[in-house]
Amino acid sequence: MTEMRCMILEQKRQLYSRTATGERIRRRRKLLGLSRKELAGRVGKAEKYCADIERGYCGMSLETMIGLAECLGMSLDYLILGKDGEERINREVERIWFLVKDCDERKRKKAMELLKVYLNE
């Protein structure tokens, strides 16, 4: 039983890719309109460290993963392994972004206000 459990854990471990994780972080950061500097400030890390994470050059602690996931509105499953219902949510967020990306700042703010009002009903 223990040997089987170790094999399963090893298979899951192989699914983790620092490069793919960094790419998911970069895509979400850009989708949210955050600069790398803003993201770094929000999670309390250096900008270069965040850049290295996005490029897959280095790993990160669990605390950093949790901070990034919370800041970017991602589950840890999606952040680390790219799995769960996040793909559907990402497509919806991308559609919303597509609708507002070319609007001026006033229209984007108004759209956000309307979305917040609608979601709080």
Domain locations in the chain as residue ranges? 1-84, 85-121
Per CATH, the number for 1-84 is: 1.10.260.40
Quote the DSSP letter at residue 1. Answer: -
Sign of CA dihedral 78, 62, 30, 108: positive
CA–CA gap between residue 10 and residue 14 (Å, rounded): 6
- pLDDT of the residue at 119: 77
CA–CA gap between residue 33 and residue 27 (Å, rounded): 10
- pLDDT of the residue at 49: 97
- pLDDT of the residue at 47: 96
Q: Which residue ranges of the chain lie beneath pLDDT 70?
A: 1-14, 84-90, 121
Q: Which of 17, 35, 34 is nearest to 79 (CA)?
A: 17
- pLDDT of the residue at 83: 76
Exposed e or buried b per residue across 97-108, where buried means at least 16 C-beta atoms within 10 angstroms of its C-beta: eeeeeeeeeeee
Q: What's the pTM value of the predicted model, to 2 decimals?
A: 0.63
- pLDDT of the residue at 66: 95
